[in-house]
Amino acid sequence: MLQELSEYVAGRVGRWRDMAARAAAGPLLIRAGIAVFAALSLVLAFPGDVMRNVAAILLAAIVALLPATFPRSRLVGLAVFACAFGWVLGTLMYGEDVEVPRLIALSATLYLMHSLAALAAVLPYDAVVSPGVISGWLLRAAAVVAVSAIVSVAMLFLVKVTLGPVYLVASLVGVLAAGALAYLVARRAGH
């Protein structure tokens, strides 16, 4: 059994060496983008008091590198979950206010991280990727983020002006608007 484990580890190390030797710039750049957006998401999600701790910074760096290293795995979802946990921790335990710009920035960085992880998941590590593919992907993702932010802010404003600070109604209207927007975008993409 020890020999089988040793052979397995040696095979994995050999595969990692082969991947490192053959890795192309495009997939590495995409994975670097995943790590950057994951790190930004963690910084935006967790309270400032937590992120000033050296251990928290080290843990955030590790969590940010995991989806970049393994974009086909559930570790991308783990990074998203860690950000959601940080947001809840900040609002419930540290009493931080929910600020719309920070929330939009967090949702934008999470979306961009997840979108790049989806791209990295289908690209082989040694694929030759033209810069137009990466910039086109990011422009489409940025357009989704911009439209979502504009619709969300408009819905919040509309609900606040017409109904006052009724957050449940604003949330439901926002979810319905986001669902309708997603349906329209998916329908348009299908044509």
What pLDDT is stored for residue 24 in this prediction?
Answer: 81
What pLDDT is stored for residue 153 in this prediction?
Answer: 83
What pLDDT is stored for residue 82 in this prediction?
Answer: 93
Cβ density class 130-144: b for 16+ within 10 Å, e for less: eeeebeebbeebeeb
Collapsing DSSP to helix, strand or coil, 94 comes out as: coil
DSSP labels for 126-191? T----HHHHHHHHHHHHHHHHHHHHHHHHHHHHHHHHH-S-HHHHHHHHHHHHHHHHHHHHHHHH-
pLDDT in tens, 57-85: 999 999 999 999 999 999 999 999 999 99
| Cβ-contact 66, 78 below 8 angstroms | yes
Mean pLDDT for back-to-back runs of 10 residues, the chain (191 residues): 80 77 84 95 90 90 94 92 90 83 90 93 86 89 88 77 65 76 76 58
Beta-carbon contacts of residue 131 (< 8 Å; ≥ 6 apart): 26
What pLDDT is stored for residue 124 in this prediction?
Answer: 87
What pLDDT is stored for residue 164 in this prediction?
Answer: 60
